Structure 1
């Protein structure tokens, strides 16, 4: 654990089959919760809530920091905005050490 070879991939959809704008709001709330490292997501927020919650606990235990890469839904890619599925890409990385100040 902890070397450059360490990569854990968790995959989950977010909301399912809501209208575009409703899904955007709901998924943004879910992503904000993930970025705040708050586990306890329900399956209505992410169908893979169980592995996402496990990742959040593991990330907290190892001091990893979440970084949002992108958030979209199928209305952005497939076109139909009446019933969309939400997605987000979030990377959890080691914290960047503060640059030492030179005087």
Structure 2
């Protein structure tokens, strides 16, 4: 990009999305792990409609990351059952770094 050619060394892209919604704790963990594997392997087509609310921007990030030779690493993967306590209907969250 032009910014990189002008001496700028780093660019930050931040995309936020919930993962699974309103599943029980253990089903959500399994589903979110599948989504995380798709993110880490830069496979946007493996992220289904109900895997992430923001699957469109996440998919765009994965395509861009692949085009630029980036690799994804999971920083954290949790759901609201880990933080709020109620495990009957949770929302999943993941944090990933691309470099």
TM-score normalised by structure 1 residue count: 0.85
Q: Which has the larger radius of gyration?
A: 1
In the alignment, does 2:57 pair up with 1:21?
Answer: no
Shift of 1:42: 2.1
- Equivalent residue in structure 2 for 1:34, among 34, 39, 43: 39
User: Structure 2: which 5+ runs fail to align?
Assistant: none
Report what 2:93 is aligned to.
87
What is the CA deviation profile of residues 34-92 of structure 1, one whole-angstrom value per residue up to 9, with x for unaligned ones? 11111122220001000000000000000111011000000000111000000000010
Bigger share in helix: 2
User: Structure 1: which 5+ runs fail to align?
Assistant: 94-103
Cα root mean square deviation, aligned: 1.1
In the alignment, does 2:69 pair up with 1:63?
Answer: yes
Report what 1:99 is aligned to.
none
TM-score normalised by structure 2 residue count: 0.89
SS of the aligned residue for 1:76 comes to helix
SS of the aligned residue for 1:43 comes to coil
